[in-house]
Structure 1
Amino acid sequence: MASPPSPTFLKQPHRNRSWKQWPLPPLPPDSYQVSNDFELSQYPELEDESLLAWGLKQSELEDSYFRATVTVLQGRGMELKWHYNVDDDYLDAIISVGQFFVNTWKSMFGWLPGNFSIPPRTVRSLRRGGLSGVILRSMYSSEGFWAKMGNQCFLRHGDHGKLASFESSYRYQCGWDTGIAYTQFIRTRHRCRYFCINYPALSMQRLTAYLKQNSALGYRPFFLEALAADECLKEFQRNIGDRRKLLVQHERTKGDKDIDFNTATTALHRLSRDWHTLGQDCQDFYTKLQFLQDAYMKYMRNIQDPKNGWKVDKFSHTDESLEVLKSQCDNFVRWTSVYRDRTNIRINLLFHLANQRESRTSTQIASSSAKIAEQTQRDSSSMITIATVTMFFLPGTFISAILSTTFFDFGPEGLSVSRQWWILPATTIPVMIIVFGVWLGWRYWRFKKKKSDLKLP
């Protein structure tokens, strides 16, 4: 087997489209050449031929050098051969046989939300080979990554009620923050065919190595699905592990003096959101594994039915592997829930620590305010004392200044007192009484007014 070519990534311009540009009125569907084994539009209620025709026309306008590449695994008995990056002419020649791996990840940009830049001729060839129109409808969607394609498992019966074909297809995500992938499996009585769009790269490497050692694994039922599921769970495990490290770093910070509450709270809320989304995607993947297990059991039950006359596969233990993968995915679902709860507990702890810090700050401010109030009260008492002393001496000073009275004289005979000394106390004492009365009355009025404003009892 030839080695796969090394990928080369080039950034290409792309057309920016909004959901308003997606078609609303129906468009005339393109005409397709129908294959004998894989008849198209068996389930027209699930497909939208007008949307597919519109998507093909949009693909023709795409001018990107790096668009989707197709790798084909062709088998003749136990002899398997890889064909990498086949062109459309060769794809048309071998479309009736082989397993098809379509890779759109090399296209850095595209007109579709998921960068599914598949050339229209390639799409038509794959459609003739049996590629599900439901998968294309999901790709030609304005919702992009958000859109979820339902799982499909179909049985077709021919004459006399015998099984004619078995088909299953589904959409999945390899990990959490990676691209979208699609897988379709079709089995007729004499043929087995896969269409894998964006099959996980590590799964592709493992598949190549396994088939090189044992080509019989290529005919094992649901082997490709289980291999991709294992790599997807490894990606989920890596995503969970990366975010768990962030959570542990936050949990090991015990003293609130070392915590930046603004950045820590924002980071923890972002982490809690990631746990919620990651847990939901793990739950979706668990449902996908359950679908694969049910589809596998349905497949084995029908091909082993003697009335159908199909050849029974030699390997029939993939359901046990799927059960192991389900158990592992169930652990991821439970642990993401636990980590989300631990993150929320940490957020609550930061909230209480912030409240305690604010409480301590408020207590310190209150203590400082009390000291300032006490000092202010002392200053106020001192000012009142000074004002009282001033008012006591002010009337006498005022009377002396007005009357220019001189009641004491230092003469040759010593200190002498004027006979009019009684005028000073006679005028000073009444004025002093009036001044103190006015001051006390003013203070009483101020107190009553303030009491009325505050409505104190």
Structure 2
Amino acid sequence: MRQRFGVSPLFFNCFHSPKYVVKIGNASLIRTEGGKRVALDGLYRFSSGLGSPPVHVWFSHSLIQGQSSTYIIHGCPDMAKSLILSYVEQRDPILMRPLSVDAILAEHSLHEWGQAVYAPRNHLITYENSSIAQYTPSQTAEAVERLHFLSQVLHIIREDLTDLRERLQYLVGVHERLIDLSNDRYDPLDVESVQDSFAYIVSKTTTLRRWVVNYTERTGIRINLFFNLATQSDSRTNLEIARLSSKIAVSTQRDSSSMITMAAVTMFFLPGTFVSALFSMVFFNTTNDNESIVVGRQWWLFPTITIPLTVVVFATWVAWQRYRNRVDSDSLGISDLMKIAGPEPIMEKSPNPSYQGPM
């Protein structure tokens, strides 16, 4: 093809680029032979809807009187190919107009992108006509997820429509350049017809892109509405929890006051209880004759048993408290500790001048 048609190596390099990540540019080149302009060559790439493979187009319009134009279309959509072949079989003079094949391909691409808009538009209208008050929390989360997916699809379509509009502007420039270099080779009526066709396709592309932008913004509004209603529901739940916590705090305070009262009454009777218990022991004996207190010989058993037993009880209680504190500390997770300690301060760093971001 390089020797027979003069295909540029740039056209073959297009096949090695990623399908959906890298977008190649539009090129138009003047081919010369013997110091004379002999042809206007060009190449571009476009897609026809979501999920469709890219289409690569190379063309060469001869600037010599009586010579034809050559097109190489890699991955041409079936509908556009059938239409072009039908014009060829019918020998329709429409193909003799400059860049008529490009206009057919652009019209088909616009039609496919218009079809791709229908599904997300219908889903968006369904959510707009539904009553959000009847949504459960799980249904709300599912709706937000689907709306985010619709927003992503609409953003992709919007940018592809932007590419289509730029490619149409490129083809309009190629058409004007070809007419200037062709030295009145084409019929003025055919030239005006193609110009009108491109103007019409550009207008349709602009209108469709404007509505896609409208659908994208409406999707964002619906997502914000779901978020606001979910936030209001959470706020009401938090207020109810705060109200119940306040009631619990009041009840706890009342219980604490009752316990303090019971403790005060216990302390009031504790000295008398201690004295009565002490003098009721067999170690002490009172006589009626001289009204004196007689201490038994085994009185030392009371402090000997009571003091160590009291120490053991308090030591056991202290050991149990320390064990409980250690267990609580071990069961506290790292995330909980970070929540208690708070986030670490963010250190500002100077940007790395050697970093090259994505272009």
Q: TM-score, normalised by structure 1?
A: 0.55
Tell me, yes or no, if structure 1 residue 350 matches structure 2 residue 226: yes
CA contact (8 A) 2:26 2:45 kept: yes
Percentage of identical aligned residues: 31
Partner of 2:58: 184
The change in CA–CA distance for 1:172 and 1:251 in structure 2 (over 3 A counts) is same
Partner of 1:170: 44
The 1-side partners of 2:254 and 2:58 are apart by 89
Tell me, yes or no, if structure 1 residue 396 matches structure 2 residue 275: no
- 1:313 deviation in Å? 7.9
Partner of 2:74: 197
Tell me, yes or no, if structure 1 residue 219 matches structure 2 residue 219: no
Equivalent residue letter for 1:238: Q
- 1:390 deviation in Å? 2.9
Tell me, yes or no, if structure 1 residue 366 matches structure 2 residue 242: yes
Indicate which of 234, 247, 258 corresponds to 2:136: 258
Alpha-carbon RMSD across the aligned residues, in angstroms, is: 3.0
Equivalent residue letter for 1:167: D
The change in CA–CA distance for 1:151 and 1:127 in structure 2 (over 3 A counts) is farther
SS in 1 for 2:42: strand
CA contact (8 A) 2:103 2:198 kept: yes
Partner of 2:175: 296
Tell me, yes or no, if structure 1 residue 282 matches structure 2 residue 161: yes
Tell me, yes or no, if structure 1 residue 148 matches structure 2 residue 23: yes
Partner of 2:6: 130
**Cα deviations by residue, 1:93-120 (Å, 9 ceiling, x for unpaired):** xxxxxxxxxxxxxxxxxxxxxxxxxxxx
The change in CA–CA distance for 1:259 and 1:393 in structure 2 (over 3 A counts) is closer
The 1-side partners of 2:204 and 2:125 are apart by 22
Equivalent residues in 2 for 1:334-345 (5 A)?
Answer: 334-345=210-221
SS in 2 for 1:315: helix
The 2-side partners of 1:321 and 1:294 are apart by 14
Equivalent residue letter for 1:255: A
Tell me, yes or no, if structure 1 residue 319 matches structure 2 residue 195: yes
CA contact (8 A) 1:135 1:149 kept: no
CA contact (8 A) 1:220 1:313 kept: no
SS in 1 for 2:123: helix
- 1:333 deviation in Å? 2.3
CA contact (8 A) 2:19 2:53 kept: no
- 1:160 deviation in Å? 8.4
CA contact (8 A) 1:138 1:147 kept: no
Equivalent residue letter for 1:293: V
The change in CA–CA distance for 1:127 and 1:369 in structure 2 (over 3 A counts) is farther
The 1-side partners of 2:278 and 2:115 are apart by 99
Structure 1 segments unaligned to the other structure (5+ residues):
1-124, 406-417, 419-457
The 2-side partners of 1:212 and 1:129 are apart by 23
Select between 288-297 and 166-175 the one with higher mean Cα deviation: 166-175
Partner of 2:110: 233
The 1-side partners of 2:42 and 2:92 are apart by 23
CA contact (8 A) 1:174 1:180 kept: yes
CA contact (8 A) 1:211 1:217 kept: no
SS in 1 for 2:20: helix
Indicate which of 152, 163, 171 corresponds to 1:273: 152
The 2-side partners of 1:288 and 1:370 are apart by 66
SS in 1 for 2:52: coil
- 1:285 deviation in Å? 0.9
CA contact (8 A) 1:220 1:314 kept: no
**Cα deviations by residue, 1:34-87 (Å, 9 ceiling, x for unpaired):** xxxxxxxxxxxxxxxxxxxxxxxxxxxxxxxxxxxxxxxxxxxxxxxxxxxxxx
Equivalent residue letter for 2:148: H
The change in CA–CA distance for 1:231 and 1:127 in structure 2 (over 3 A counts) is farther
SS in 1 for 2:7: coil
The change in CA–CA distance for 1:328 and 1:259 in structure 2 (over 3 A counts) is farther
Which has the larger helix fraction?
Answer: 2
The 1-side partners of 2:272 and 2:148 are apart by 76
- 1:257 deviation in Å? 3.8
Equivalent residues in 2 for 1:33-48 (5 A)?
Answer: none
CA contact (8 A) 2:14 2:56 kept: no
Q: TM-score, normalised by structure 2?
A: 0.68
The change in CA–CA distance for 1:229 and 1:208 in structure 2 (over 3 A counts) is same
- 1:311 deviation in Å? 6.0
CA contact (8 A) 1:219 1:313 kept: no
CA contact (8 A) 1:183 1:197 kept: yes
- 1:127 deviation in Å? 5.3
The 1-side partners of 2:263 and 2:48 are apart by 86
- Report how many aligned residue pairs link the two structures: 279
The 2-side partners of 1:281 and 1:323 are apart by 19
- 1:295 deviation in Å? 1.4
